[in-house]
Structure 1
Amino acid sequence: MRAILDVILIILDLYVWIIIANVIFSWLFAFNVINASNQFVAMIGQALYNLTEPLLGRIRGFLPPLGGLDLSPIVLLLGIFLLQRVIVLYLYPNVF
């Protein structure tokens, strides 16, 4: 059972890095630092969007509009950090 919890923690860590990469990519795209017409860049952007948008879209539905400021990645990261702490502090010690 601890092995399953370890795998879940690793997956959550990887997803945190995917969210951070998506935020950085969106900033680079918004400020025209990267060329969106490049096929490789577009493929990376689409992959990041497909991996993060299902959860971020649901969070955006609950957050009020803040005039172009998107706080959904911060809310998602806080939720992931909370879930990791619950696993480490409450579930992991009680598993044999």
Structure 2
Amino acid sequence: MVSLFQILMLILDIVWFFIIAHVIMSWLINFQVLNLHQQLVAQIWYGLNRILEPLYAPVRRIIPNMGGIDLAPLAVLIAVYALRIILVNNVSAFY
């Protein structure tokens, strides 16, 4: 059961990394440091969008439109961190 706990923590860590990478890339694209006309940048960007959109879409339906500011990544990051806290506090259930 410890391995199940470790796998869940690994999945949450990977999701955390993907969200942080997506947020940083969005800033770099908006400030024109990265260009979507470059093939590698575009593939990474669209890949991250396809991976993270199923997580963002339900949150975007709940959070009101903030006029150009997307708070869905922040809400998902908070949810991932809350899940980590819940798992760590209940680690005894995995033994």
TM-score (norm 2): 0.94
| Aligned partner letter, 1:26 | S
> Which residue of structure 2 aligns with residue 35 of structure 1?
35
Q: In 2, Cα distance between the equivalents of 1:70 and 1:18?
A: 16
Q: In 2, Cα distance between the equivalents of 1:95 and 1:5?
A: 6
| Aligned partner letter, 1:93 | S
> Which residue of structure 2 aligns with residue 12 of structure 1?
12
**By how many angstroms is 1:14 displaced?**
1.1
Task: State the secondary structure of the residue aligned to 1:68.
Answer: coil
Task: State the secondary structure of the residue aligned to 2:47.
Answer: helix
Q: Deviations over 1:19-68 (max 9, x none)?
A: 00000111111111112111111101111111111111110010011111
Query: Does the CA contact (< 8 Å) of 2:56 and 2:72 recur in 1?
Result: yes
Which ranges in structure 1 are unaligned for 5 or more consecutive residues?
none
Q: In 2, Cα distance between the equivalents of 1:55 and 1:78?
A: 12
Is the counterpart of residue 2 in structure 1 residue 18 in structure 2?
Answer: no
Runs in 1 of length 4+ with deviation above 4 angstroms? none
Which ranges in structure 2 are unaligned for 5 or more consecutive residues?
none
Percent identity between the aligned chains? 35
Task: State the secondary structure of the residue aligned to 2:82.
Answer: helix
TM-score (norm 1): 0.93
> Which residue of structure 2 aligns with residue 85 of structure 1?
85
Aligned length: 95
